[in-house]
Amino acid sequence: MADERWLIVGLGNPGKRYENTWHNLGRLALQTLAERHNLSINKIRFKGLSAEGFICGQPVLLLAPETFMNLSGESVRQAAEYYKIPAERVIVIYDDIDLNVGMIRIKEQGSAGTHKGMKSIIYQLENESFPRIRIGMGPRPAGDLVNIVLSKISKSDYKIVQQSLDAAAESCELILQGKIATAQERYNQKKELD
């Protein structure tokens, strides 16, 4: 029998070196969500750091994989299998170089695009029918993407980034309440957050 809990995943890379980098926007948004609900993501399990609790009356497992990005699916699969959480109750939050800074997008399902962490999750779950929240870090520059995505978020960008993290956390709350369409209407139409 499937568990009624939700699995909310914030993608990023582990370790001090990657803290506050663009590629860790998913982890930062997950931390923002946890703080809004007095949860601490500090329990080591499922190849990641986790927290359990309730958000909007729904039982949740928050998970920050401690694998590197390209292996995130291993962590997600372990947690989903352990609790028998179906894919449609998995929410993944991650960075997107093809969205400008200050933008987020919520989708009910879809492909991984160019994101290797999402490719890993879809491969491990053998399913792409789960909600996801993409947080903009673009526009996509010419040249080496690795140096861009692994660079630290500048102080000048952090104010707009924090607005995106708050919007992503609110979007999770709306999804948990069965209001994904409301989240999409609120954030998918906006060019950039104010």
Mind telling me the catalytic residues?
23
Contacts of 181 (CB under 8 A, 6+ apart): none
CA atoms within 13 A on the CB side of 50: 19
How many angstroms from the chain centroid is the CA of residue 22? 12
Going from the C-alpha of 103 to that of each of 16, 130, 171, 185, the distances in angstroms are 26, 20, 13, 13
